Amino acid sequence: MSTDAEMAKPDAGFWRGKRVLLTGHTGFKGTWLALWLHRLGAHVTGMALAPSTQPSLFQLAGLASSLDHHVLDIREPTAVADLVRNAQPDVVFHLAAQALVRSSYTDPVGTWSANVMGTVHLLDALRQHPGARVAVLVTTDKVYRNLEWHHPYRECDELGGHDPYSASKAACELAIASYRDAFLGSSGLRVASARAGNVMGGGDWAMDRLLPDAVAAWQQGHVLNIRRPDAIRPWQHVLEPLAGYLCLAQALWDDAAPTGPWNFGPHPHERATVRQVVQWASAAWQGGGCGVHFDDSEQGPHEAGRLALDTAKAQTLLKLQPRWGLEQAVRRTVRWYQAQHEDGDARQLCLQDLADWEAAE
C-alpha cells in the first residue's frame, strides 16, 4: 500500500483474481462495491435478497451478469453455509442487513433477525468451512451509545443503541468479536468490523434517505419536507467508505493492520447538519424548483441529534484520507440522479464517478 496518505486507494494488482464473497450485493452500497470489485478484476460471488427498491441500481447497472449472483436469505443458516463452502472465498465482505432506522421501529423482530442472526450465520459458516483469509463485516456509525456529546466517537467507546437498528448493529459487533476471538482468529481468518458514517451517491432509492427523498420531490415539482434539520451526521460519498473496506482488507491480508473495529468517515470539520446538506443539494439542482420545508418539531420515533466519528485509526494505519469534500459529494450525487433521469446509463455514471474518485488528489 502507498505510504502517501493522499494517494491511498484500492490496488488492482491485489484484487485481480481474488475470490470475493459479498453479502448484500443487490443493495445500494453492495452494488457499488460489486461494480468496483469487478472493475478491479476480482471474481465476486454475491449473496443477497432480490433488490428491494424500484428502480434498483443493481438492475439498472446490469450487475447480475458480472458476478456469481445468488438470491439467498442470510437468515437461512444451511443455505449460507452451503454457499460459503461452494464459493471458497479468499476475502469476505458482509453488507447484508436491514439498514433503515425508521423501518426497524415497524419491524424490530425482522431487524434483529437479519442483522444479528444473519451475521452469526455467516460467521458460523466461516467457522465450519475455513479457507478465507480476510473478512470485513460492515456495521454502522450508530453502534455507539449516543450521549449527544460533541467529540467524535472512537472505536474504543461504549456500544449501545436506542432504536432496534442501532442496537442490533451493536449486538453484531459483540458477535463478531466473539467469533473472532473464540474461533476464527485461531483458524487464520483475520476479522474486522467497519463502522461507516452516512453515505450518499447515485442509485440509492431506499425510503427515508435524505438526498433520494430530495431528488424524488424535486423531480416531481413537490416541496421537500425535512424533519430534524439540525441533526448532525458524518456524511460522505459512498466511494469513501468502500475504499476504506477495500484498503482494510488489503492491509489485513498482509498483516499490516490489526483486526477489530474501524471507523470510516469524513474529517470531523466536514460533519454537517441535515439543513446544510439540503441547501447544498438545492444549489446543485439544475433547473430550479427546489422547494423545501424544514420541520423543527420532534415528532416521530427517536433519532440521534448529533453523531461524529473519530477516523484517526484509518488515517494513520491505512493512510486513508477523504478524496471528496462534503459539498462536492452532494453536488456529484445530485448530478448523478439528474443525469440518470435524463436517460443516462447508470453503470457508466457509476464507472465515471469511480474513475474521477481514483484520479482525485
Close Cβ partners of 86 (under 8 Å, ≥ 6 residues apart) = none
- Encode pLDDT of 309-350 as tens digits: 999 999 999 999 999 999 999 999 999 999 999 999 999 999
Helix (H) or strand (E) holding 86: helix 77-87
Instruction: For 282-348, give the DSSP string.
Output: HHH-TTS---EEEE-S--SS---SB--B--HHHHHHS----SS-HHHHHHHHHHHHHHHHTT--HHH
Q: What is the CA radius of gyration of the chain?
A: 19
If you ran DSSP here, which 8-state letter would residue 75 be given?
T
pLDDT band at 302 (very low <50, low <70, confident <90, very high): low
Q: Comparing 60-64, 89-93, 295-299, 308-312, which segment has the lowest mean pLDDT?
A: 295-299
Per the DSSP assignment, residues forming a β-bridge with 224 are: 292
Q: Scanning the structure block, which residue is given the C-alpha cell 462536492?
A: 328
Q: Is the pLDDT of residue 147 over 60?
A: yes
Q: CA 4, CA 24: separation in Å to the nearest integer?
A: 32
pLDDT band at 16 (very low <50, low <70, confident <90, very high): very high
Close Cβ partners of 19 (under 8 Å, ≥ 6 residues apart) = 42, 43, 45, 87, 88, 89, 90, 91
Q: Record the pTM.
A: 0.95
pLDDT of residue 303: 60
Residues 28-56: what's their mean pLDDT?
A: 97
Distances (CA, A) of 157 to 160, 208, 262, 357: 10, 28, 12, 31
Residues 127-143: what's their mean pLDDT?
A: 97
**Higher model confidence: residue 9 or residue 287?**
9
Residue 19 — φ and ψ, nearest 5°?
A: -90, 120
- The three three-digit cell numbers of residue 50, written as one number: 432480490
- Encode pLDDT of 262-281 as tens digits: 999 998 888 899 999 999 99
Residues 214-225: what's their mean pLDDT?
A: 92
Distances (CA, A) of 23 to 70, 174, 215: 10, 19, 28
β 43-48/19-23 pair status: parallel
